[in-house]
Amino acid sequence: MTRRLLLGAFLFHPGGSHVSGWRHASAEPHRHVDIEYYTRFAQTAERGVFDTIFLADGLYFWDRFPSGVDHYGQTRLEPLTLLSALAVRTSRIGLAATVSTTYNEPYHVARAIASLDHISRGRAAWNLVTSRYDEEARNFGGDDHLDHSLRYERGAEFVDVVHKLWDSWADDAILADRESGLFADAAGLAVADHRGRHFTVRGPLNVSRPPQGYPVLFQAGGSDAGQELAAATADAVFARSLPVGEAQRFYAALKARVVAHGRQPDEVAILPQLRPVVAETEADARALAAELLASTPDAIIVEDVAHSIGQTLPADPDAPITPAPDTDIANESKSPNRRLARLLSGERLTARDLYAESFWESVSVGSPAAIADDMQERFESGAADGFVVQALTQPLGFESFVDLVVPELQRRGLTRTSYEETTLRERLGLARPARRVPEPVTA
């Protein structure tokens, strides 16, 4: 089978992945809770023969800084309800919901995702996150978030319980035999009876086994613990965007981890984020990107940079930054700290300078051919198995990608021109997991 470049269409803030993408003249910021707005997004992705849409999520409203309330377009629909509606508005595309393992219960998550998998006839995916913000903890009884390693330990056990619940029923256990009166074959039913450190869950699930066996599992997996969990359990990893050399090293290291867990390297697809700004010409694309950057309110610039370097800043984004005396740059590999190091070395930089630098580093700006070149290079040089596309402004940025870049990728034979397989798992080239009859676990 020819290796095929995978495509996911990402949405978090409905106006686009740039915080003020909603301000663009083409945007529709009054429609952030309008199902027709999301339907158009999903149908556009399906028109582009994307493998999946990918709804990011957070269990909080970001009001730590005033700019979060004033300027971000954060109000939106909850992913599982939204994807269930989109399941019947689409027919072939995957539907990935972000769900936290820290503030949920496995029985609910197993049920809801199994249900979405049935409703969509095998197109559900779960993007597992462990929720890192204090803002999330405070909506669920706590004041601080769980310790990082404990979150991942809980996450690993959570996946284990969910798998056991999805395995409650054999694929052929539902007989529905009018004649005998046997609805289910008791021999095909297993009780999870899970007793672990974080969860005690008996089961069985009251939903029959999902069409995909286990719906597809996405993870972000940036940290060491995150990569371990992903290598052990994920079907696909959503990675951050890196310069091509760093991306190749990340890719190789993660595939090695996958192998270390006794799996084949191609059992886990690695999908970095891609933030394209595309137009017919390079000049038009740069103009659009510059316009989006220029639409960023000053308060966001100042508060975003203040947050990233960990110190308060004056309200004027054009004032030179004086690093705080207690500045810690222990981890120089992180880009905010690279900037801190430059500040500490005496370089004269304003918040606007730093914000703009981050912006241009994070985006892929160019003509359709140039963007396709970059994607192809990364795909063919061991930096990516595909991409999760985050348009900066919606719907324009994503529709431009589908109209301009996708045909170029298709001409090059990198992506498909139509859907062939039925389930998302099949489309990703992954086997349907055999049912494992759960055995009692004591941890």
Minimum separation from the CB atom of position 230 to a copy of itself (A): 25
Query: How many chain residues interact with a copy of itself (CB under 8 A)?
Result: 79
Residues 6+ positions from 292 with CB-CB distance below 8 Å? 18, 20, 21, 24, 277, 392, 393
Stretch that binds a copy of itself, among 57-65, 250-258, 311-319, 425-433 (CB under 8 A): 57-65
- Taking alpha carbons only, the member of 229, 236, 142 closest to residue 427 is 236
- Between 188 and 221, whose beta carbon lies closer to a copy of itself? 188
Tokens standing for 289? 């990107």
Contact 77, 38 (CB under 8 A): yes
Span 154-173, contacts to a copy of itself by CB under 8 A: 168-169
Identify residue 16 by its one-letter amino acid code: G
Per the annotation, where are the binding residues for FMN? 57, 98, 148, 152, 223
CB-neighbour burial class of residue 329 (10 A; exposed 0-12, middle 13-18, buried 19+) = middle
Residue 184 makes contact with a copy of itself by CB under 8 A: yes
- Between 80 and 279, whose beta carbon lies closer to a copy of itself? 80
Span 72-131, contacts to a copy of itself by CB under 8 A: 72-78, 80-82, 84-85, 87-89, 103-105, 107-108, 111-112, 114-116, 118-119
Minimum separation from the CB atom of position 42 to a copy of itself (A): 11
Minimum separation from the CB atom of position 309 to a copy of itself (A): 23
Residue 316 makes contact with a copy of itself by CB under 8 A: no
- Read off the DSSP letter of residue 414: S
Stretch that binds a copy of itself, among 46-54, 133-141, 212-220, 306-314 (CB under 8 A): 133-141
Q: Which residues of 260-272 are buried (b: 16+ CB within 10 A; e: fewer)?
A: eeebebebbbbbb
Span 9-48, contacts to a copy of itself by CB under 8 A: 20, 22-25, 27, 29-30, 32-35, 39
CA 220 to each of CA 99, 229, 231: distance values in angstroms, whole numbers, following the listed order = 12, 10, 11
148-166 and 224-233 helices, crossing angle to 10°: 10
106-119 and 79-87 helices, crossing angle to 10°: 20
Contact 53, 47 (CB under 8 A): no
Minimum separation from the CB atom of position 211 to a copy of itself (A): 9
Residue 69 makes contact with a copy of itself by CB under 8 A: yes
Minimum separation from the CB atom of position 352 to a copy of itself (A): 15
Residue 189 makes contact with a copy of itself by CB under 8 A: yes
Q: Is it true that the peptide bond before 317 is cis, omega within 30 degrees of 0?
A: no
Stretch that binds a copy of itself, among 204-212, 301-309, 353-361, 407-415 (CB under 8 A): 204-212
Stretch that binds a copy of itself, among 178-186, 322-330, 350-358, 363-371 (CB under 8 A): 178-186
Minimum separation from the CB atom of position 340 to a copy of itself (A): 28
Tokens standing for 254? 């993660």
Instruction: Find where tokens 């300078």 sit.
Output: 353
